Amino acid sequence: MGLYSNNYKQSLVSPEDFWADAASSIVWDKPWDCVLDSTKAPYYRWFSGAQLNTCYNAVDRHVNEGRAEQAALIYDSPVSQTQITYSYQQLLDEVARLAGVLSNLDVVKGDRVLIYMPMIPEGVIAMLACARIGAVHSVVFGGFAANELSTRIDDAKPKVILAASCGLEASRIIEYKPLVDEAIDLSDHKPSNTIVLQRPQATATMQEGRDIDWATAVASANAVDCVSVAATDPLYILYTSGTTGQPKGVVRDNGGHAVAMMWTMKYLYNIQPGEVFWAASDIGWVVGHSYICYGPLLNGSTTLIYEGKPVGTPDPGAFWRVISEHKVVSLFTAPTALRAIRKEDPDCDHIKKYDMSNMRALFLAGERCDPDTLYWAQDKLQVPVVDHWWQTETGWSIAANCLGLEVFPVKPGSPTKPVPGYDVQFLDDSGQPVAAGQMGAIAIKLPLPPGTFPTLWQNDERFFSSYLETFPGYYETGDAGYVDEDGYVYIMGRTDDVINVAGHRLSTGAMEEVIAAHPDVAECAVIGVADKLKGQAPMGFAVLQSGANRDADDVVKELIALMREKIGPVAAFKLATIVKRLPKTRSGKILRATMRSIADGVAYKVPATIDDMSTLDEITENLKALGYPKSA
């Protein structure tokens, strides 16, 4: 039996022993009373009774253990032409003083702090400063619109907001402060203060009595020490789209999270302390939490913050430059990024300009990696390409090729095998396992391993109804797929109506609410259609109100503008059409899956319960007018 098989078996047969051993890599202020607390099952908790501080383990510990002068964080921003390296000692100084600023504003253990920052070092510093004093941070991606931000303010009820004056893209400056001000105006909950980092590219207007200048406050603040918290206390809240349009606040605890992050850095990513690991994501997403901020730093490695794009900043060689200059050993990105690079530089000529000899592996996640992209990456990079599958809710990979354990042959379309800790099952509608090769709903037998979410923020009921109710004793992933005869997992798609746009999970329900709010729209549907670059793209279908004498093109333009305003540019909503009727079953259910099949050009079976076949004919004609299905 190989190293992977031994670890996987032990993690399922003796999870307490397996994770207790993994937990020895963390510095604890107080040991646990029990490794796995099942007293409130299915609400399991890991390392009950233990105390620690995540910031101490990520920063102070390394200074104390001789890594003070080692690079902790490298900032590379081609859009602002800036590069800064922070040693662990410098990072500690910055974090401890920002924590002092928060303490001066009466932020204490358990209080929430909302972070609305671009990809700059201060974003990670803000996360660590919160962790240092036991405050619960909630990072919101800077591309989200004011109303989306306001829903998160009302749910998390932060005492303080940390924000930058702006974010930068290759061709424009996005001012953040007006969005924050509007979000606060829209919110019932009013934060006491907003701490604003003034970037030179845009100066934010400050509101007297509420807004505080970041640089001034940090300059006059005293450094504060770490506050010990319970292993089961929340470290952060990260909101993910729900099918109802109301975001779900995924909670991550301190103890299990630290243990899982350390384990994955060593055994999944095969990264050693002192090596440079780059997750080309954003701190607003779970990848940014796990593998820009916490994972590499807990491991004593060097993390990289990149403010740029895979192409256009300035060219499709941007990623290869960063890897070469900073001696990155592993890159973690989304297949979308590779597709963008491939589109601009199909022969990957730009890579020839750079020394890539330090790079050992490429990790892909956020969406299913199509075989063509996988083959292209393997050919051009000449390193193992690991497609791995995980979710915001889990916080780390469910299925992967664990390079620190045992390297398996790659099968295109598969993220390889379940990671130790995850008892992955494929179930039919009645909750019974299906045979190898047969499609089923993917569920994970409880308890979930450490580092996954114990619940939703102040909403145990929704946690249960959303994830645990369908298959008693299991976590319902919402994905469908199958396992082959070799134990390789295949993820074939979502079982709900959340679509994946360039790795960002977006709710079609929330988009439909936006379209339905247009005064001329009677009803609508949004589906995700296949997109070579982004994986999926949202497409809207709208039926106009009777008597709405409007030009269809004008309405479509208004819907696109409305979506950008309400959801934000992250939705990439550019496809919409006006139809006379939507195809439905006799009971009134819109046939979204059938519409998606027509758009993607895949075979489908017309439901026996369809109300009127002619509605599908109209959908087909409208899709043809939009250029769908795309030719292969």
DSSP sequence for 31-72: --SEEEE-TTTTS-EEEET-EE-HHIIIIIHHIIIIITTSEE
Report pLDDT for 356: 97
- pLDDT bucket at 92, cuts 50 / 70 / 90: very high
Mean pLDDT of 16-22: 98
Q: How far apart are CA 404 and CA 392, in angstroms?
A: 23
Q: How far apart are CA 429 and CA 440, in angstroms?
A: 8
Q: How far apart are CA 533 and CA 541, in angstroms?
A: 22
Mean pLDDT of 337-351: 88
Task: Look at residue 547 and tell me whether its pLDDT is greater than 80.
Answer: no
pTM comes to 0.84
Residue length, the chain?
A: 632
Task: Look at residue 335 and tell me whether its pLDDT is greater than 90.
Answer: no
User: Which residue's structure tokens are 């059938």?
Assistant: 594
Secondary structure in 3-state letters for 141-174: CCCCCHHHHHHHHHHHCCCEEEEECEEECCCCEE
Task: Look at residue 243 and tell me whether its pLDDT is greater than 50.
Answer: no
Report pLDDT for 185: 97
- pLDDT bucket at 632, cuts 50 / 70 / 90: very low
Share of the chain above pLDDT 70, in %: 96
pLDDT digits (tens, 9 = 90+) for 450-493: 999 999 999 999 999 999 999 999 999 998 888 999 999 988 76
Task: Look at residue 293 and tell me whether its pLDDT is greater than 80.
Answer: yes
603 phi and psi angles, rounded to 5 deg: -65, 145
Task: Look at residue 155 and tell me whether its pLDDT is greater than 60.
Answer: yes
- pLDDT bucket at 264, cuts 50 / 70 / 90: very high
Regarding predicted confidence, which is higher, 297 or 147? 297
Report pLDDT for 608: 52
Report pLDDT for 607: 66
pLDDT digits (tens, 9 = 90+) for 484-508: 999 999 887 666 556 778 777 676 7
User: Which residue's structure tokens are 């992955």?
Assistant: 424
DSSP sequence for 534-551: TEEEEEEEEEEPTT----
Give the full edge-to-edge strand order of the sheet including 112-116.
211-213, 193-197, 160-164, 112-116, 136-139, 234-240, 248-253
From 2-16, 53-67, 108-122, 354-368, the region with the lowest mean pLDDT: 354-368
DSSP sequence for 557-579: HHHHHHHHHHT-GGG---EEEEE
DSSP sequence for 409-425: PP-TT---EEPTT--EE
The answer for residues whose C-beta is within 8 angstroms of residue 195's C-beta and 6 or more apart is 101, 160, 161, 162, 163, 211, 212, 213, 214, 217
Mean pLDDT of 325-335: 95
Mean pLDDT of 246-257: 94
Helix, strand, coil share (%) of the chain residues, nearest 5: 35, 25, 40
Domains, the chain, ranges and CATH? 3-308+388-477 (3.40.50.12780), 498-625 (3.30.300.30)
Task: Look at residue 12 and tell me whether its pLDDT is greater than 70.
Answer: yes
pLDDT digits (tens, 9 = 90+) for 563-576: 989 888 888 899 99
The identity of residue 32, as a single letter, is: W
User: Which residue's structure tokens are 């580092």?
Assistant: 451
pLDDT digits (tens, 9 = 90+) for 392-429: 999 999 999 999 999 999 998 899 999 999 999 999 98
Q: What are the C-alpha distances in Å from 165 to residues 81, 160, 371?
A: 18, 16, 41
Task: Look at residue 509 and tell me whether its pLDDT is greater than 80.
Answer: no
* Averaged pLDDT of the chain: 92
